[in-house]
Amino acid sequence: MRRHRATHLLHIHMRDVQALSQKFICRTLENQVDKMRKTRTSLSPEAAAKAAVLGKPDKPFTFDTLRNPISRASMSAFTGDIAEVHAFLVGFAR
């Protein structure tokens, strides 16, 4: 059986004009996942052995180290700006 890579979209909804940047939100999520990985592995050796590891275990977590590609897109229902999400869906459908 062949493995297919699944494409994922990290959708960042911008509620208002003064929302945090997409880059800042991605860094924050990466830091939180990295902290979660460290916490899980420090609980007990048994839990560490059973835990699924996202990314490379010996390096800090980033979305770029995952096997499946992660696309990032922001949109705003407030301003009607959905171009990035639309482009992702069009590219995915091809």
pLDDT (tens digit, 9 = 90+) per residue, 15-74? 655 667 888 888 999 999 888 887 776 667 776 677 677 778 788 888 888 888 888 888
Angle, CA of 73, 77 and 82, to the nearest 5°: 40
pLDDT at 31: 93
pLDDT at 42: 67
Coil, strand, or helix at residue 4?
Answer: coil
pLDDT at 1: 41
* pTM confidence score: 0.70
> Mind giving me the DSSP string for 13-81?
E--STTPPPHHHHHHHHHHHHHHHHHHHHHH-HHHHHH----S-TTS---GGGSSS-EEEEEEBTTTTB
pLDDT at 81: 82
DSSP state of 9: E
Q: Which domains are present in the chain? A: 8-93 (3.40.50.300)
Q: Which residues pair with 75 in a beta bridge?
A: 13
If you count them, how many residues does the chain have? 94
